[in-house]
Structure 1
Amino acid sequence: MGTRVSYPAEIKIKAIEMRLAGIPVKEVLSQLNIRSYTQLKRWMRWYKNGEMHRFEQPVGKQYSYGKGPGFKDEMSKLKAENQYLTQQIEVLKKYKELERKWSQKS
């Protein structure tokens, strides 16, 4: 699997404008050095759904509008941190259980 590519918002918008102008997909991909047609399709879907805020999101941070990394207040930040740490503990418990089972088999 290749590395992730992060395209600037300007490239994404330019690609959409080119497609809306009737330029063929292959030509848009080659001119703007976009690797995947699927990526272009996703940007078009965002544009048609009015989700322009998504063009600014970094790779791996595809959150819904209004549910981004910012928190409304200190309490919501602490709740999110608590949920994250609780999940980490659960994962470690499961790993410890698996490790115990593996050592019994040996």
Structure 2
Amino acid sequence: MGERKNVYSEEIKRKVIEMKLSKKYTNKQIMNELGIRNVTQIKVWMKWYRDGEEHRLSQPIGKQYSFGKGPEGLSEIDQLKRQVNHLEIKNQIL
């Protein structure tokens, strides 16, 4: 049988990013507090954030790389909501 994969909600992923950007938490502290099992997961989410690929945070496991599922596949309102969320996180950190 294959290994069971963890599925983390978009809220958890965004919380991880927020905690990392605050520079108040180590990866180990974040993993313990939020139940993240692998540090690589944190690194991947942070890379997506830095690369402006936050739409990947909401895609189901195995679908993060699917063609046509990026922000251009969202309605204009959903794109704007994501942009506002992104800017709110940045403002909190500043």
Instruction: Note the alpha carbon deviations across 1:13-70, whole angstroms, 9 max, x for none.
Output: 0001101111111000000000000000000000000101001100111225x613xx
Structure 2 unaligned segments of length 5 or more: list them. Answer: 70-94
SS in 2 for 1:46: helix
Q: 1:49 maps to which residue?
A: 51
Q: 2:90 maps to which residue?
A: none
Q: 2:36 maps to which residue?
A: 34
Rounded to whole Å, the distance in 1 between the matches of 2:10 and 2:62 is 15
Structure 1 unaligned segments of length 5 or more: list them. Answer: 69-106
**Structure 1 vs Structure 2 CA RMSD:** 1.8
Q: 1:18 maps to which residue?
A: 19
SS in 2 for 1:29: helix
Question: Which residue identity is paired with 1:2?
Answer: E
Rounded to whole Å, the distance in 2 between the matches of 1:34 and 1:24 is 13
Structure ID, larger Rg:
1
Question: Which residue identity is paired with 2:14?
Answer: I
Question: Which residue identity is paired with 2:6?
Answer: V
Between the aligned residues of both structures, percent identity stands at 46
Question: Which residue identity is paired with 1:55?
Answer: L
Rounded to whole Å, the distance in 2 between the matches of 1:33 and 1:2 is 18
Identify which of structures 1 and 2 has the higher relative contact order when contacts are C-alpha pairs closer than 8 Å and 6+ apart: 2
